[in-house]
Amino acid sequence: MRRRAVLGLGGAAVPAALLGADPAVAHGSRPRWMHTWVAMPQLTEPGNLPPAPFTGATSVLVDTTLRQTVHVTVGGSRLRVRFSNAFGGAALPITSAAVARPAGGRAGVSAIVEGSSRPLTFGGRSSVVVPVGAQVVSDPVDVSVAAGSNLTISIYLASGLASLNLTSHPGSRTTTYLVNGNFVLSPDLSGGASVAHWYVISGVEVVAGAPAIAIVGDSLTDGRGSTTDGNDRWPDQLFARRPRTAVLNQAAGGNRVLNDGLGPNVLARLDRDVLSTSGVDRMLLFEGVNDIGTAEASVAAQKQVVDDLLFAYSQVVLRAHARDIVAYGATITPFGGNTGYDDPGGLREESRQAINAALRRGRIFDEIADFDIAARDPANPRQLDPLYDTGDHLHLNPAGYGALAAAVPLRWLS
């Protein structure tokens, strides 16, 4: 299989004014602003909106404090937070926001370490309005985060969002807390509600000098079947194998390569989620099962989806290479026995095999990770290993996600 050399982080220096007026920040192996955590922005489905009273008839999050935790990868001594209104139906007014260390360093907790909270500002102001379709980046704050640690982000919206079109990441697998009133600096939140979704946060950047890999995927990468507040998706477990590289999970359940599903298709979101994500110098694409599974189980439709997927993969690689980003891929894991995708005639399985055979020939991606071999049942290769199967014959449990993480060559992260 051909392999392009893993690119270094070299390049011309960037003016300090473009990097938050920090003269120490520049391209190269020296520290610069880069993402350490991301969440792919999505339009919130009605069933994933905040519970009452935090969602009204025409507005959401009125007089609400949100407390959310995120699991960073590489660490740093300065950070800034990105807030997204990509799918908002109105401007998003953030009244105040802060970062802190979560109690016990744990994910999904409502309490913070007393005295650790630091307010976020936006151009020196404590509040900001995020325009429709836009994002804002906070000012840098001198807060140290360790590699692989958890960070609490608290937000207060006095007037809320004057629309039910809210930007979120429903598959957070992390508990978020909501309470009425401004409790951004409160040591603990009580008397409100909790949900397993992230709202309006989309990235955390740190000043660091490390490689960064963006992983583009669907629910298998977003972590369906993983442990809530456990951070044991396969990208989490990949980071644990080499905790000196930023591993950025740009996945969403139901996502597809060719057509919009839950969130924009890969060809539409590649610029936003990979090419424009600070620090990224390599990517890994593990998607296609939803394209195969939602295409009609006919010979013509399945031939079309195979041809279109292979072309789309080559387009992703072409666009990544244009930005000097190494493009890795992964074979599609089995779904035999799944009631939605496994058709009686086996046409979708033939499509999966055809895609995987083309990837293994090594003419599309720079290299591939063979997730199919890692996850399948040796006695019945069209199905998942029973030790890894959540029971729906499509999604993996934490042990299965560990097998995927182990199938990624560590040299890809060096």
pLDDT digits (tens, 9 = 90+) for 315-355: 999 999 999 999 999 999 999 999 999 999 999 999 999 99
Supply the pTM of this predicted model.
0.92
Strand-pair partners of 199: 168
The length of the chain in residues reads 414
Q: What is the DSSP letter of 140?
A: P
- Alpha-carbon distance of 409 to 245, in angstroms, equals 13
* CB 76, CB 246: distance < 8 Å: no
- Alpha-carbon distance of 38 to 330, in angstroms, equals 21
Two structure tokens written together for 295: 């295409």
Tens of pLDDT along 368-412?
999 999 999 999 999 999 999 999 999 999 999 999 999 999 999
- Alpha-carbon distance of 295 to 310, in angstroms, equals 15
Q: Calculate the average pLDDT of the chain.
A: 93
Chain centre to alpha carbon of residue 240:
16
Q: Which amino acid is at 158?
A: A
Q: Which amino acid is at 251?
A: A
* CB 31, CB 209: distance < 8 Å: yes
Question: Exposure of 114 by Cβ count < 10 A (0-12 exposed, 13-18 middle, 19+ buried)?
Answer: exposed
Of 15-24, 57-66, 212-221, 247-256, the range with the lowest mean pLDDT is: 15-24
- Alpha-carbon distance of 257 to 268, in angstroms, equals 9
